[in-house]
Chains A and B, each alone.
Chain A
Amino acid sequence: DAKTTQPPSMDCAEGRAANLPCNHSTISGNEYVYWYRQIHSQGPQYIIHGLKNNETNEMASLIITEDRKSSTLILPHATLRDTAVYYCIAVNSGYSTLTFGKGTMLLVSP
């Protein structure tokens, strides 16, 4: 699976959009980009995934660059409950084992 690179931490004001970047320059054509988050030692939580096209669900939007070398997770209106570690993971399929990095610690402040 391709290695991903994320900033160690980010801050966001409550109510504003949180844009979390991820670099995956070595991603192969059949690898998906998955995003999970982990709130304070709870089990990781699936957020969204994509292959080539931008994706949106009730939690977030995922923007993948045309060359697929990077992506951005967007939380449109961050709340205090969105404070968590966010992981960007490249995998061949949803069933693949997940290799977690250190992720990005997002702190949402009032």
Chain B
Amino acid sequence: EPEVTQTPSHQVTQMGQEVILRCVPISNHLYFYWYRQILGQKVEFLVSFYNNEISEKSEIFDDQFSVERPDGSNFTLKIRSTKLEDSAMYFCASMGTLYGYTFGSGTRLTVV
């Protein structure tokens, strides 16, 4: 069964550093998303991406965040200057049909 692949599975970074989280969505999917989940809290929407542009973003997705689809396969989330409160699981998802999202297994980001 097709999968959404996320790398790395775990990233530790120092506060103030830039991080790039990578995702390879399912190849024929057209809609892409990033969500995050702070430990013990709900899954929260960050941003959706369609037709090479952001289609929707949440209040969390401020100027420190950016997304990019640099080629036909990768979808990245960049955090420009990480803060302690950015520590969370980050989930990438893609969607191609009307049968629900396919989520990746996530990247655990730890900011120290």
Partners in one complex: yes
What is the 8 Å Cβ interface bit string for chain A, positions 23-36, against chain B (1 contact, 0 not)?
Answer: 00000000000101
Complexed CA–CA distance, A97 and B34 (Å) = 10
What is the 8 Å Cβ interface bit string for chain B, positions 91-111, against chain A (1 contact, 0 not)?
Answer: 101010111111111100000
Quick check: is A99 within 8 A (CB to CB) of the other chain?
A: yes
Assuming A99-B45, A100-B43, A101-B42, is B95 touching A94 (CB within 8 A)? yes
Chain B interface residue bracket vs A: 20 to 34
Q: Which chain B residues in 59-93 approach chain A with CB under 8 Å?
A: 89, 91, 93
Interface of A is mostly: loop
Chain B residues lying within 8 Å of A41, measured Cβ to Cβ, are 37, 89, 106
The answer to whether A42 touches B100, judged by C-beta atoms less than 8 angstroms apart, is: no
Q: How many A-B residue pairs have CB under 8 A?
A: 54
Q: A-side interface residues toward B, CB under 8 Å?
A: 34, 36, 38, 41-47, 49, 93-95, 97-102
Q: B-side interface residues toward A, CB under 8 Å?
A: 4, 31, 33, 35, 37, 42-45, 48, 50, 56, 58, 89, 91, 93, 95, 97-106
11 A-B pairs (CB sep. < 8 Å): A41-B106, A43-B4, A43-B105, A46-B102, A49-B100, A93-B98, A94-B95, A94-B101, A95-B98, A97-B33, A99-B45
